[in-house]
Amino acid sequence: MEKEHVTLTQPDGTTLELPILEGSVGPKTFDVTSVYKKTGMFTFDPGFMATASCRSAITFIDGEKGILRYRGYPIEQLAEQSSFLEVAYLLLYSELPSAEQLTEFEYIIGHHTMINESLQMFYRGFRYDAHPMATMVGVVGSLSAFYHDSLDIHDARHREISAHRLIAKMPTIAACSYKRHKGEPFIYPRNDLNYTANFMRMMFATPCEEFEPDPVAAKALDLLFILHADHEQNASTSTVRIAGSSGANPFACISAGIASLWGPAHGGANEAVLNMLDEIGDVSNVDKYIARAKDKSDPFRLMGFGHRVYKNNDPRATIIRKVCYDVLENMPTADSPLFELALKLEEIALKDEYFISHKLYPNVDFYSGIIYRALNIPMNMFTVMFAIARTAGWVAHWMEMIGDPDHRIARPRQLYLGAAERAYVPLDKRG
Ligand code: CMC
């Protein structure tokens, strides 16, 4: 049977057949890799609006139907029944672990949580008021200077050890960034605690006072980590892949991913949502801000609304909204007026013609900040929380890419709009 193809007709009437590639689920894709060779033209797609940049078997999203699956498992089932480390294992190794494999994985991650003591000096080099994301970019990038023994990207075992180190050390690095910012001593990890509880203790204990993580808080945080663990070819994951495509070491690649995540259109949105809610302040001001979001001459956007892929609902937002209710019921620190304000904003926006016609719905970050605040996590750490979780996805994508024998350096082309060739004019001859 003839293979399906798309026919491209050139201005001179000649045609080119472009093979259609089928994934296991989701839209078909036609292969444009031969277009330049055969037509002398490039394809143009800024922002990758319709371009599949790679093959991947990790995460599937159907933006129209609001579906998100890791390795085939619906996010709702993982959120309900799994744990973050089990999800990290699933992303890395393609399958859910057996009980024995999970215990071993938890042991390995638990025994890679310490960071080299010299890194403390590195932290001290930052100004006390450095944003924790700035510290994260620097410290994670510096790890390649400390862990030389796992840097051979062509060795599968080295790649695996680096992946384990990154997942394990990220909470320690994050907590140290916070402690540095706060001017408190670093708290060392403890191997008898689970991933999330250990992180909370490193954040909130001091040498003079122990910290017992509240089980509701630890569970809510673990769930947020599951929801943020991966999201296929988003900006930061694509950044990790592009950085890694040149053969750069994994620590440098993840540092690049953190830098990309920091932007307010991506992971920085959770911090921006709380800033926005604080600025709105009261339900009586909601209409004014909705009007601003619709006004094209005003750069203000409703933060936590809209998504490149989800056009009807973000399944992660639906799950988080429910968790907000649980946290509010069970935690005295929860800020219910803030949640009520968020609910009101959502209610008004969802009835508004502009938001309906632009298909703008609350995304994962609209509610996550409310939970972080209830857990006493300071606002400038919100995006760091996202980075801890997304590290599992980043390393899974990096491993998938490096392990693919067909992978090549990522090198997009451009539509050049600058000056054509012109002759250099000596300084004394310029008008
Ligand atoms: N408020 C008001 N208008 C918006 C918003 C918003 N939050 N988002 C998009 N629009 C409008 C935009 O002005 C444009 O209107 P028009 O077609 O009339 O010019 C239209 O909707 C399409 O927007 P776009 O920016 O071209 O869409 P995009 O797919 O490039 O951007 C987005 C997606 C998430 C960057 C954008 O919706 C946004 O800036 N949202 C606010 C930031 C945010 O919450 N980001 C977190 C994303 S979820 C977490 C993550 O994955 O990182």
The rounded Å distance from CA 304 to ligand 1 centre is 9
The Cα–Cα gap between 129 and 142 comes to 20
Q: Quickly tell me which residue has 């508004």 as its tokens.
A: 352
Closest atom of ligand 1 to CA, residue 236: 52
Nearest CA to ligand 1 atom 20: 358
**181 band by pLDDT with thresholds 50, 70 and 90:** confident
Q: Which of 181-190, 200-209, 328-337 has the lowest mean pLDDT?
A: 328-337
Q: Looking at the annotation, which residues are catalytic? A: 307, 365
Closest atom of ligand 1 to CA, residue 306: 37
pLDDT of residue 369: 87
| % pLDDT > 90, the chain | 80
Angle between helix 336-351 and helix 364-374 axes, rounded to 10 deg: 170
The rounded Å distance from CA 305 to ligand 1 centre is 7
User: Residue 231 has which token pair?
Assistant: 């999201």
Q: Ligand 1 pocket by C-beta < 6 Å: which residues? A: 231, 234, 265-267, 269, 293, 301-308, 358, 360, 363-365
**2 band by pLDDT with thresholds 50, 70 and 90:** low
pLDDT at 87 over 60: yes
Model pLDDT for residues 347-363, shown as the tens digit of each residue:
999 899 999 999 999 99
The Cα–Cα gap between 366 and 22 comes to 34
At 238, which helix (H) or strand (E)?
A: helix 235-245
Q: What is the mean pLDDT of residues 67-91?
A: 98
Q: What is the mean pLDDT of residues 216-242?
A: 96
pLDDT at 331 over 90: no
The Cα–Cα gap between 320 and 76 comes to 11
Q: Considering the entire predicted model, what is its pTM?
A: 0.92
CA 118 → CA 112, 122, 251, 388, distances in Å?
A: 16, 7, 17, 22
Burial class (CB in 10 A: 0-12, 13-18, 19+), 295: exposed
DSSP 209: B
Residues 6 or more apart whose Cβ sits within 8 Å of residue 120:
176, 186
Q: Quickly tell me which residue has 């935690």 as its tokens.
A: 331
The Cα–Cα gap between 363 and 314 comes to 5
The rounded Å distance from CA 356 to ligand 1 centre is 13
DSSP 353: H
The Cα–Cα gap between 59 and 75 comes to 10
Terminal CA-CA length for the chain? 67
For 84-102, letters b (16+ CB in 10 Å) and e give bbbbbbbbbeeeebeeeee
The rounded Å distance from CA 366 to ligand 1 centre is 13
pLDDT of residue 1: 53
Closest atom of ligand 1 to CA, residue 266: 52
The Cα–Cα gap between 230 and 90 comes to 11
User: Residue 247 has which token pair?
Assistant: 């053969």
CA geometry: angle 307, 318, 132, nearest 5 deg: 65
Q: What is the mean pLDDT of residues 206-234?
A: 94
Residues 6 or more apart whose Cβ sits within 8 Å of residue 272:
264, 303, 304
Nearest CA to ligand 1 atom 29: 308
Model pLDDT for residues 256-283, shown as the tens digit of each residue:
999 999 999 999 888 889 999 999 999 9
DSSP 192: T
- Pocket perturbation via mutation, ligand 1, pick of 59, 280, 308 by most ligand atoms within 8 A of CB: 308
> Is-contact 389 225, C-beta < 8 A?
yes
